[in-house]
């Protein structure tokens, strides 16, 4: 009797996955169920799912538990963030993030985390073709996002994220 239930459960999970449904457990956006749909066209303001870039910043985030271990080549789970800057935009990382000279005061750049451990700080940059800056406008004060890992290749984008059933908490 257990075998048919396991087979049915596996089939249902595969069906849900094939439909693009994913569970977000990160606090950067509301916890819950999202539908991820492939897209060739992205723009500023799109909420997307992506694999964060490999490197020291993500390794540190994994080690400290800012992001969870998962299936991305960086070793993390896919994340959900909003596209805030695209090709040609100039980004500076001072006390707050600035895009094309406009300071986004709701996005402070912390030098250290709540345990007083130093956080990574990317170099100022101008985004090239195929690069985006991803931030969380849901948790702008404390999300681990582009303020700490910099630009992300558009090739890392898994698709547009649409909330289906979320729990804002608080």
106 in any annotated domain: yes
| Beta bridge partner(s), residue 98 | 92, 103
> Residue 138's closest CA among 168, 162, 108, 159?
168
135 CA to centre of own chain: 7
109-158: pLDDT as tens digits: 999 999 999 999 999 999 999 999 999 999 888 899 999 999 999 999 99
Which CATH number belongs to the domain containing residue 108 in this structure?
2.10.109.10
98 in any annotated domain: yes
87-108: pLDDT as tens digits: 999 999 999 999 999 999 999 9
Q: Return d(Cα 24, Cα 136) in angstroms, integer.
A: 13
């Amino acid at each position: 009797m257990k075998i048919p239930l396991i087979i049915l459960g596996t089939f249902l999970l595969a069906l849900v996955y094939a439909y693009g449904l994913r569970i977000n457990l990160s606090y950067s956006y509301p916890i819950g169920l999202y539908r991820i749909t492939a897209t060739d066209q992205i723009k500023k303001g799109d909420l997307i799912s992506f694999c964060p870039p490999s490197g020291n910043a993500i390794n540190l985030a994994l080690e400290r538990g800012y992001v969870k271990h998962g299936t991305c080549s960086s070793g993390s789970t896919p994340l959900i963030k909003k596209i805030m800057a695209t090709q040609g935009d100039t980004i500076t990382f001072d006390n707050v993030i600035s895009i094309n000279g406009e300071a986004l005061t709701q996005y402070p750049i912390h030098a250290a985390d709540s345990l007083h451990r130093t956080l990574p700080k990317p170099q100022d940059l101008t985004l090239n073709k195929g690069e985006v800056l991803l931030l969380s406008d849901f948790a702008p004060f404390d999300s681990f996002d582009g303020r700490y890992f910099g630009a992300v290749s558009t090739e890392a984008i898994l698709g547009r994220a649409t909330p289906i059933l979320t729990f804002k908490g608080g």
